[in-house]
Amino acid sequence: MRRLAATLSALLLGFAAAPAAAQVSVIHAGGLLDRPGQAPRGPSTLVVRNGKIEAVRDGHLSAEAAGAAGADLIDLSDQFVLPGLIDMHVHIFSDDDKMRARLEGPNRDIEDNFVIGVDNARRTLEAGFTTVRDLGSDIRSVTALRDGINNGLIAGPTIVPAGRAIAITAGHGDGSNNLNRDMTAAARAHQENVCNGPEDCRRAVRSQIAQGAEVIKFTATGGVNSNIAGGLGRQMFDDEMKAIVETAHMFGRKVAAHAHGTDGIDAALRAGVDSIEHGTFGTKETDALFKRAGAWFVPTMLAPQAALAQARAGARSRATLEKAEVAAKAAMENHRRAIAAGVKIAFGTDSGVSSHGDNAKEFALMTSVGMTPAQAIKSATLDAAELLGRADTLGSLEPGKDADLIAVARSPLADVTELERPTFVMRRGVVHKQAGQRQPFPPAGRP
């Protein structure tokens, strides 16, 4: 009996130790932007092994010649290939149908929102965005979705979550605004993200980190979509902002500040934030602060236009409509000035305000206010990866980096709207879209 047990144990150990078969693909690209910001390459071959880029070579090589005998061949020889896109500002659980969301909201449970998020994640991935930074979701839900995607159970982009945005009472991000007394009491009982004063704000940051937040967001100013009057100006004191930034940085987390009004943008930059989201009412002095601080600007140009259209259609509150009118009017010229001044720009859409899957429409807006297609693409690849702190794995197609890549029919360097129509999407070596069609997930033969 002991001999049998020992034999079975050895067999089981042998099975456990047996390496899994390598997943290898050879991709033929008609054109290749392997390093955004540099000139594209012509016909090229990429070797992908176990979710990573192994090699990038000129010309269309056979699998054998590329050192990958027996690999699957993916023929994109009539397509233009570039790194997977990164959106630095999304809300993955937000329903695209704002009117329905307002009417059904009180009847929805967290599980209902999770189902919406699963669909949004897949649509975002199929739109060519292989990585997103979620800047405002229930922390337990978004980390569960993140882990489900990373473990191959759900199709979606890599998610870098912030959890709930840190906000002050009555501020943008306080979910109890303008509710009746019973709903206000219920909301406040569960709002770990709401804080008042520096010590309380340190607690709020630690609470989100303890539950899995990889980045911290706070609301330095009012917000367009808050159902409360008070405009878009500053809502936090210096010591509150400083406490949030210092606590997050102590834990190795970067900090994004939602900020519209000039006073809030400037205060957040002085507090040491890593990025400003929206930045609607910046000035020349603000641009200089960006440069001195080394901070990034995430303009989210789609958001004010989408919010205004929704508010005018009655899908948002009157408080939102008044703020949306002001923000939409000011945003684009402010963004034009900041771009011309050389402020560092990272791509972000605020999808969830605009529709998920429409993320790439941001590119046309960026070029309309002075960015070249090459600059706009770099903002959604290498620059976004730098802001994430993941430039060693994301943002370009180089050996050792994640095999996150997309293809379009023609070069987006000539027409950036090509990015609105990706024909091929691969994330970490798994094909999710090919010839413009959704692919089965998990792929055949994969666990």
Quote the pLDDT of residue 3.
45
The side-by-side arrangement of strands in the sheet containing 85-90 is: 85-90, 129-134, 158-161
Q: How far apart are CA 322 and CA 329, in angstroms?
A: 11
The pTM (predicted TM-score) of the whole model is 0.91
32 Cβ neighbours under 8 A, 6+ residues apart: 40, 41, 42, 44, 46, 56, 80, 81, 82, 397
Which helix (H) or strand (E) segment is 330 a member of?
Answer: helix 318-340
**Could you report the per-residue pLDDT of 304-339, keeping only the tens digit for each?**
888 888 888 887 777 777 777 888 888 999 999 999
Quote the pLDDT of residue 445.
59
Strands (E), 204-311: 215-219, 254-259, 275-278, 296-298
Q: How far apart are CA 261 and CA 253, in angstroms?
A: 25
Q: At what angle do helices 284-293 and 262-271 cross, to 10 degrees?
A: 20
**Could you report the per-residue pLDDT of 65-91, keeping only the tens digit for each?**
999 999 999 999 999 999 999 999 999
Banded pLDDT at 178 (limits 50, 70, 90): very low
Residue 394 reports pLDDT greater than 60: yes
CA angle centred on 257, ends 154 and 159, rounded to 5°: 10
End-to-end CA distance of the chain: 34
Banded pLDDT at 184 (limits 50, 70, 90): low
Banded pLDDT at 49 (limits 50, 70, 90): very high
Residue 15 reports pLDDT greater than 50: no
Structure tokens belonging to residue 54: 């192994």
Please report the domains of the chain, with CATH numbers, ordered by start residue: 21-83+397-438 (2.30.40.10), 85-356 (3.20.20.140)
Backbone angles phi, psi at 253, to 5 degrees: -100, 140
Provide mean pLDDT across the span 34-60.
98
